[in-house]
C-alpha cells in the first residue's frame, strides 16, 4: 500500500526531495504521492515536519 499525504500538509517539499523514486509531486495546495510509483520506503515520513504522511 502506498503512503498517503494528509490534509495537514504544509507543502514544504521536504518529502519530495528524499523520495528515491520521485513519486511525490506538488498538488494544488499540498504534495501528493503517486500510488503507482511509491515503493513504501518511508523516507518521506521521517522528514515531514508536521507528520502529514501515513502508510
pTM of the model: 0.90
pLDDT given at position 2: 85
Q: How confident is the model at residue 42 (pLDDT cuts 50, 70, 90)?
A: very high
User: In sequence order, which residues have a C-beta less than 8 Å from that of residue 16 and are 6 or more positions away?
Assistant: 24, 25, 26, 31
- DSSP bridge partners of 38: none
> Which tens digit of pLDDT belongs to each residue from 1-38?
789 999 999 999 999 999 999 999 999 999 999 999 99
In this predicted structure, the answer to whether residue 49 has a pLDDT above a threshold of 90 is yes
- Give me the number of domains the chain comprises: 1
CATH of the domain at 20: 3.30.70.20
Q: Which domain holds residue 16?
A: 4-54
Amino acid at each position: 500500500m502506498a503512503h498517503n499525504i494528509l490534509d495537514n500538509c504544509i507543502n514544504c517539499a521536504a518529502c519530495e526531495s528524499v523520495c528515491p523514486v520521485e513519486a511525490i509531486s506538488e498538488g494544488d495546495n499540498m504534495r501528493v504521492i503517486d500510488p503507482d510509483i511509491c515503493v513504501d520506503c518511508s523516507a518521506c515520513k521521517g522528514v515531514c515536519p508536521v507528520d502529514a504522511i501515513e502508510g
